[in-house]
């Protein structure tokens, strides 16, 4: 019986340590090394992505607020495009996403749109929402669809 209690205490301690480490990382503690890089893999060579030294319009529209870098994707499968906000990027946690105040949202959307533009020649959008009902359900679906463009998922 004592052995089971000790094993339970060790397991609880390990879980607690993992949770504490995750919170420290999210809070910008010792593991945080500056603004977060977001990336997408684009099925195109770098010279097609930044034709004439110009980034695709969605990234160019963010101007000097972002830093962009590119590198070949593993296995010769296109180019990895990375971007990050030049400032600290604070205000991009789960609470910010849920309230619609995510500072990284426009950057996520710009990367997604740039990938779509380079690969297909147009920015692909989701299909029209099936319901045009002005009630609460229709407004909720429309709000979720709009937020998904910046959050990367519903």
- Considering the domain architecture, whether residues 121 and 65 belong to the same structural domain is answered as yes
Q: Which helix (H) or strand (E) holds 138?
A: helix 136-151
- Considering the domain architecture, whether residues 71 and 102 belong to the same structural domain is answered as yes
Domain count of the fold of the chain: 2
Please give the pLDDT value at position 148: 75
CA nearest to 36, candidates 112, 108, 115: 108
pLDDT tens by residue, 26-78: 544 444 556 789 999 999 999 999 988 899 999 999 999 999 999 999 998 99
- Considering the domain architecture, whether residues 22 and 78 belong to the same structural domain is answered as no
Please give the pLDDT value at position 153: 52
pLDDT tens by residue, 91-150: 556 666 566 667 888 899 999 999 999 999 998 776 665 656 778 887 887 777 777 777
Please give the pLDDT value at position 89: 54
Show the domain range for 131.
Answer: 34-151
Please give the pLDDT value at position 8: 60
Please give the pLDDT value at position 23: 61
Long-range contacts of 54-60 (CB under 8 A, 24+ apart): 55/114, 56/113, 56/114, 56/117, 56/118, 57/114, 57/117, 58/109, 58/110, 58/111, 58/113, 58/114, 58/117, 58/123, 59/83, 59/110, 59/111, 59/114
- Considering the domain architecture, whether residues 70 and 6 belong to the same structural domain is answered as no
| Dihedral angle of Cα 46, 47, 49, 55, to the nearest 10 degrees | 110
- Considering the domain architecture, whether residues 58 and 1 belong to the same structural domain is answered as no
- Considering the domain architecture, whether residues 38 and 16 belong to the same structural domain is answered as no
Which position has the higher pLDDT, 25 or 66? 66
- Considering the domain architecture, whether residues 38 and 113 belong to the same structural domain is answered as yes
- Considering the domain architecture, whether residues 59 and 95 belong to the same structural domain is answered as yes
Which position has the higher pLDDT, 81 or 3? 81
Please give the pLDDT value at position 104: 86
- Considering the domain architecture, whether residues 14 and 71 belong to the same structural domain is answered as no
- Considering the domain architecture, whether residues 56 and 130 belong to the same structural domain is answered as yes
8 A C-beta contact, residue 44 and residue 119: yes
- Considering the domain architecture, whether residues 25 and 50 belong to the same structural domain is answered as no
- Considering the domain architecture, whether residues 40 and 108 belong to the same structural domain is answered as yes
Which position has the higher pLDDT, 86 or 35? 86
């Amino acid at each position: 019986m004592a052995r089971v209690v000790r094993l339970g205490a060790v397991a609880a301690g390990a879980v607690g340590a993992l949770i504490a480490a995750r919170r420290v990382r999210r809070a910008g503690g010792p593991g945080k090394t500056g603004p977060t890089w977001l990336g997408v893999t684009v099925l195109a060579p770098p010279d097609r992505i930044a034709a004439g030294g110009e980034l695709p319009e969605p990234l160019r529209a963010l101007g000097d607020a972002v830093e962009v870098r590119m590198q070949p994707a593993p296995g010769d499968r296109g180019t990895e495009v990375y971007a990050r906000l030049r400032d600290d990027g604070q205000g991009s946690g789960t609470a910010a996403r849920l309230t619609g105040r995510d500072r990284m949202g426009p950057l996520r959307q710009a990367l997604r749109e740039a990938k779509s533009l380079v690969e297909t020649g147009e920015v692909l959008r989701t299909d029209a929402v099936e319901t045009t009902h002005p009630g609460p359900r229709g407004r909720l679906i429309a709000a979720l669809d709009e937020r998904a463009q910046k959050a990367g998922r519903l």
